[in-house]
Amino acid sequence: MMSNFYTSDAGDMRNAATLQTLYKISEEDIQYIRGLGEFMLPQMDHMVHTWYEWLMTQPEYEQFFADSRALHHAQKMQHIYWEQFIEAQLDDNYVESRRKIGETHARIGLSMTIFFAGMSIFHDLFSKIMAQRNLKLKEQVRTIDAVSKLLHLDTGIVCEVYTIMSNETITAQSRSLMEMSTPVTQIWENILLLPVVGIVDSKRAQDIMNAVLSAINRTQSRIFILDISGVAVVDTAVANHLIKITKATRLMGCESTISGISPAIAQTMIELGIDVGTIKTTANMMDALNDSFRSLNLQIHKVER
Amino acid sequence: MGYSTKIMDYPKSIWIVIHREADITRSIFESQRMAQSLGFDHGRAQMIATAVSELARNIIKYAQKGKIIITPLNERRRSGIEIICQDTGPGIPNVDQAMEDYFSSSGTLGLGLPGVKRMMDEFEITSIVNQGTKVIIRKWL
């Protein structure tokens, strides 16, 4: 179930060993962190409790942890998290568990600010508890340094996954918007209309093609008006897509008109050297509709009352 | 390549990593938005965005991965926009040929580069085989 969340190549997916080198976490650092275990683990309940007391003062608390089961679960996860932290077994399972946290935060919409603040509070708790021990100053400083490095590594992974997940969400949203916006409509007997708005990429061009061809098949329409006045850019790739669509409709006995060629688009197409051949184009949808009526021998009359 | 592109050199730039089609969309929107905020009218902004789209598509098609840097230009007497498209792809063996209309090494229309050049005020291309291609385009207000 996990595997698909962040297989995207959109983010940094370094493995555990590489990350350890990157954050300059030495074996000595790991020993210092593990050395915390006997002292820290008995205090874990206290630490998690302190953290939740802080969280209760935040608006997020009501939203995410009002349900006692959710709270209990989060506290349990927190225990596991810090136990893993102190075990400092920096393998790919460790990295995976951190990615899972980023994934969870992104999925439920718990902000990175809360995560960062939480890490900072734990760092503070670590320092305070350390200070209670009778350690040499040098050893204390080394331990806190080691803890900081690992905290940074954790934070980095979580933040990376959070970003990837957010980007994925945006991509998915725009994708679904695009899919919704291929409404081929029969506006008159024998006339189909599709206004295209936004970006035409290869996936969308294919969607348009499918939608139009099946609409022609269904309605037996003779004319298809493709209005591109809302298209962001018409580059050679988009033009190629449009030309292909009109050729396909023609094969099905339906003539296409591309309407909505603005002055800017016309000029751009000329500069790019795009040759639309015999495809009929008009400046606006009204002209295209008028032409369609004419070729279907239809006339619109104002009725005298 | 023989030049470095450091992030600090472009304090007001937008950097976009290009490696999938959605990144083309982003480069279109970002270049159009920056052009309009600089004072280009809708049509000219659209033309700039079209040029960027063309170059971004080339990155995906030929190099798979690259980046686009969109920078506002403010000189004493004029302002404009600059877009750098850089990839570490196979490079173009014969740049002059690639700049001719109707030349394509991929079997498509291949009108991209000369068209982009016509739409912009300035066009520079550097390409080293097996190292990559860098295209810099500028348009002045």
Residue A277 forms contact with B (CB below 8 Å):
no
- Asked if residue A266 has pLDDT above 90, the reply is yes
Residue A272 forms contact with B (CB below 8 Å):
yes
Which residues, 6+ apart, have CB-to-CB distance to A214 below 8 Å? Answer: none
Question: Do residues A237 and B57 lie in contact, with contact meaning Cβ atoms separated by under 8 Å?
Answer: yes
Residue B133 forms contact with A (CB below 8 Å):
no
Task: Give me the residues of B, 75-114, that contact A with CB < 8 A.
Answer: 101-102, 108-109, 111-112, 114
Residues of B in contact with A274 (CB under 8 A): 109, 111
Question: Do residues B111 and B67 lie in contact, with contact meaning Cβ atoms separated by under 8 Å?
Answer: no
Backbone φ and ψ of B106, nearest 5°: -115, 10
Q: Is A178 helix (H, G, I), strand (E, B) or coil?
A: helix
Q: Which of A72-81, A105-114, A234-243 has the lowest mean pLDDT?
A: A105-114
Which residues, 6+ apart, have CB-to-CB distance to A273 below 8 Å? Answer: B101, B102, B111, B114, B115
From the list A10, A235, A273, the residue facing B50 with the nearest CB is A235
ipTM > 0.90?
Answer: no
- Asked if residue A5 has pLDDT above 50, the reply is no
Q: Is B124 helix (H, G, I), strand (E, B) or coil?
A: strand
For residue A171, the chain B residue with the least C-alpha distance is B22
Which residues, 6+ apart, have CB-to-CB distance to A42 below 8 Å? Answer: none
> Across the interface, do B54 and A274 touch by the CB < 8 Å criterion?
no
Question: Do residues A106 and A99 lie in contact, with contact meaning Cβ atoms separated by under 8 Å?
Answer: no
**Please, what is the Cα angle at A196 between A190 and A197, to 5 degrees?**
155
pLDDT, tens digit, 9 for 90 and up, residues A160-210: 998 888 887 777 777 666 666 778 999 999 999 999 988 888 888 898 999
Q: How many CB pairs under 8 A join A and B?
A: 74
Which residues, 6+ apart, have CB-to-CB distance to B113 below 8 Å? Answer: B54, B58, B98, B99, B125, B135
Which uninterrupted H or E stretch holds A228?
Answer: strand A223-231
Mutate to test the interface with A, among B18, B111, B123, B137 (most CBs of A within 10 A): B111
Smallest CA–CA distance, residue B88 to chain A, in Å, is 17
Kindly list the averaged pLDDT for each block of 10 residues, start to end, along chain B of length 141.
47 81 88 92 94 94 91 89 93 85 56 86 94 95 93
Q: At what angle do helices A263-272 and A236-251 cross, to 10 degrees?
A: 100
Residue A158 confidence class, pLDDT cut points 50, 70, 90: very high
> Across the interface, do A236 and B21 touch by the CB < 8 Å criterion?
no
